[in-house]
C-alpha cells in the first residue's frame, strides 16, 4: 500500500487551466509518490482528463505549479515531458490503426536511440500482454477494444517512463479484459512503476489504488487511501451506486 517514506515524484499545486475564457480546473493540488497507484475519480466533465492534459503540458497552464522528478514543467513542451519520463495513455487509446502492433509499439520509443534497450522493453511489453505478441504483425485497427487498450499501454511503456498517466483505461472494454488491464496496472506498480489513473469505474480504481482523489467541477473535494474512499458514504452514494 501507499508508503509515505517514498519521495514525491509528481506534485501539482494550485493549478488552474481551461478553454476559452473559462477555467475548468480551480486550484487543483495533488501529489503522487514513487511506486504508488493514485486514482482520480469523478463524474463526466469534472475535469479529470483536463488535469492529465495539463500535467502533460498539452493543455496550457494558467496558474499554479507542476513539478515532476524535481523539474518545473511550466514551460516544458510535451515531447520533453515524455523525455523526462512522464508518459500518458490517452482516453480513447488513439493507436495507429493502419500500423502493425509492433510498429505501434516502436512509435512509442520514437525519442530513443538505444536499440538494444528498446528490444528489451518490447519483450517486456509482450510478457505483460502476451496477446500482443500473438498479434505482432496484425494492424492495430483490427484489434478488439481491450487489445487496443493493451497496445496503448504498451506504446507508452516503450518511452521508458518513470510514471504513467492513464485516462479511462477500462472504457468500452469487455469485463474480462478490464480485470486483465487492472492486474497489469498493479503488476507494473509492483515492478516499480508510478501510476496516476483517471477512471470512470471508481470501484475498481479504488480497489487497486493506494490513494485516491475525488474531483467535482474542476476542484479536488476529497482525498484518502483507496480503501478509505471505498468505505466513505459520500463516495458510495455519488460514484459506487450503493
Whether 66 is in a domain gets the answer: yes
Whether 3 is in a domain gets the answer: no
How many domains, the chain? 1
Of 184, 212, 190, nearest in space to 199 by CA: 212
In DSSP notation, 83-147 reads: HHTEEEE-TT----TTSBHHHHHHHHTTT---HHHHHHHHHHHHHH-HHHHHTTTSBGGGS-HHH
What's the CATH code of the domain at 148? 3.40.50.300
Whether 31 is in a domain gets the answer: yes
Of 144, 142, 197, 194, nearest in space to 167 by CA: 197
Whether 121 is in a domain gets the answer: yes
For the stretch 3-53, pLDDT in tens is 677 899 999 999 999 988 889 999 999 999 999 999 999 998 899 999 999
Whether 109 is in a domain gets the answer: yes
Whether 2 is in a domain gets the answer: no
Whether 1 is in a domain gets the answer: no
Whether 87 is in a domain gets the answer: yes
For the stretch 123-157, pLDDT in tens is 999 999 999 999 999 999 999 888 999 999 999 99
For the stretch 102-120, pLDDT in tens is 999 998 887 677 888 888 9
Q: What is the pLDDT of residue 55?
A: 97
Q: Which domain holds residue 216?
A: 8-240
pTM over 0.95: no
Amino acid at each position: 500500500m501507499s508508503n509515505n517514506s517514498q519521495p514525491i515524484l509528481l506534485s501539482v499545486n494550485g493549478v488552474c487551466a481551461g478553454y476559452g475564457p473559462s477555467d475548468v480546473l480551480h486550484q487543483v493540488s495533488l501529489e503522487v509518490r514513487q511506486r504508488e497507484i493514485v486514482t482520480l475519480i469523478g463524474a463526466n466533465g469534472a475535469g479529470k482528463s483536463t488535469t492529465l492534459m495539463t500535467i502533460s503540458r498539452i493543455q496550457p497552464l494558467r496558474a499554479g505549479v507542476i513539478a515532476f522528478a524535481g523539474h518545473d514543467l511550466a514551460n516544458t513542451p510535451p515531447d520533453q515531458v515524455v523525455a523526462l519520463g512522464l508518459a500518458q495513455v490517452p482516453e480513447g487509446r488513439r493507436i495507429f490503426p493502419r500500423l502493425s502492433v509492433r510498429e505501434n509499439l516502436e512509435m512509442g520509443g520514437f525519442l530513443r536511440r538505444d536499440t538494444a534497450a528498446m528490444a528489451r522493453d518490447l519483450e517486456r511489453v509482450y510478457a505483460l500482454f502476451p496477446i500482443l505478441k500473438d498479434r505482432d504483425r496484425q494492424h492495430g485497427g483490427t484489434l478488439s477494444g481491450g487489445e487496443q487498450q493493451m497496445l496503448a499501454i504498451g506504446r507508452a511503456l516503450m518511452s521508458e517512463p518513470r510514471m504513467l498517466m492513464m485516462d479511462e483505461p477500462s472504457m468500452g472494454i469487455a469485463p474480462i479484459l478490464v480485470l486483465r488491464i487492472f492486474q497489469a496496472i498493479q503488476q507494473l506498480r509492483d515492478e516499480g512503476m508510478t501510476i496516476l489513473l483517471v477512471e470512470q469505474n471508481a470501484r475498481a480504481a479504488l480497489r487497486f489504488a493506494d490513494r485516491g482523489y475525488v474531483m467535482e467541477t474542476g476542484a479536488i473535494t476529497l482525498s484518502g487511501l483507496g480503501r478509505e474512499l471505498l468505505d466513505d458514504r459520500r463516495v458510495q452514494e455519488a460514484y459506487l451506486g450503493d
